[in-house]
Structure 1
Amino acid sequence: MSRKDVLLEQFLCCHKKSHWFVSFEKAVAGLTPEQALWKKSDCDNSIWEIISHLVFWNERFLNRFKNSENSKMEGNNDSTFTYLQDCEWEHVLQQYNQVMTDWFESIEKSEDEKFDEFISEQSKETWLESISSITLHNAYHIGQIVTIRKMQCSWSKEQGLS
């Protein structure tokens, strides 16, 4: 299996293919907007906020991977959790699905040498390292989504994890 194949498999598992953990698609299946906005306390993030955060960072790194410009970041990492707060729930899901599809297609079309390039002149991290970290970041937050659903009793064992 090539490096590209490993990265593609990681993105597929985070997006649509439940494997060692539940995919995003499975984690949000049947979720209502009200459930997506639910928080156990004010210091927690909602599922909606987590997805906003994932879309924000995945889009920014995808743009960099494709040598496209990003707008100047306003705020800090905490503000990324409200990135899509004014959108409809279905649009939030579409945004996540689109950026994951775009990532998959961009990796699939890229030359192998791209993975050895540094992500910027200021960084010593290669695209291989960065993309691998992005998928781990996505998986971490997908786990949070499942945990939140368990806390609100909107998760069933049939969805994947007990």
Structure 2
Amino acid sequence: MRFSKYFCMKKTELIASRLSAVLLDGYWIANTNYKDQLENISWEQAIHQVADLNTIAALTYHINYYLAGLLQVFSGGPLTIKDKYSFDLPPLRSAQDWKQLIENFLANSTDFVQEVAEMPEERLDEVFVDEKYGTYLRNIEAVIEHSYYHLGQLVLIRKLIQQSGEDVLK
């Protein structure tokens, strides 16, 4: 049975598998993932503004902001991220800046998946920093849901850019 491997996995490994699917290597739920999308988006597309929507670069920064902030907590550090700063993308002035953002995003994604996979299962039910933030499980599940939400936006924005015929498809 091809699903038999899932019956032997720890809960944290199953959750890490879901994270990996949306961030790095999955195609089952959304038929794509961030890594697949980001590696095929040019700097010009990434910073191209469509109407009043967020740019692809801003969405990438936004998800990466939360990954980095939660990784800090996983490592024993304080929770320092704030929603109001989650879209404060520094200006991207070159293809190299965009490439660096992608590399940082993929590194944080890989680290996040690994941290969750190796997390003791008991930690999932522990309070995350403060009771008002719920449990570790609640926060990790939120990352999955939040990531799919913005992945859908990213894909749609990319299609709008491609359909516009503007000279941003370099």
Q: TM-score range by the shorter chain?
A: 0.7 to 0.9
Q: Residues 146-157 of structure 1: matches in 2 within 5 Å?
A: 146-153=155-162
Q: TM-score if structure 2 supplies the norm length?
A: 0.79
Unaligned stretches of 5+ in structure 2?
A: 1-6, 164-170
RMSD over aligned CA atoms reads 2.0
Shift of 1:112: 0.9
Shift of 1:12: 1.0
Does residue 128 of the first structure (1) align with residue 153 of the second (2)?
A: no
Does residue 24 of the first structure (1) align with residue 34 of the second (2)?
A: yes
State the match for 2:88 in structure 1. Answer: 82
1:137 to 140, 146, 149: 146
Shift of 1:69: 3.1
2:12 to 4, 9, 18: 4
State the match for 1:14 in structure 2. Answer: 22
**Are the equivalent residues in 1 in contact too, given 2:128–2:136 (CA < 8 A)?**
yes
Determine the C-alpha separation between the residues in 2 that align with 1:51 and 1:124: 23
Unaligned stretches of 5+ in structure 1?
A: 155-162
Q: What is the SS of the residue equivalent to 1:6?
A: helix
Determine the C-alpha separation between the residues in 2 that align with 1:140 and 1:26: 16
**Are the equivalent residues in 1 in contact too, given 2:61–2:89 (CA < 8 A)?**
yes
1:116 to 125, 130, 134: 125
CA deviation profile, 1:43-78 (whole Å, cap 9, x unmatched): 3210001111111111112211222135575xx52x
Q: TM-score if structure 1 supplies the norm length?
A: 0.83
Matched pairs, number: 150
State the match for 1:39 in structure 2. Answer: 49
Percent pairwise identity: 18
Determine the C-alpha separation between the residues in 2 that align with 1:34 and 1:86: 10
Shift of 1:6: 2.3
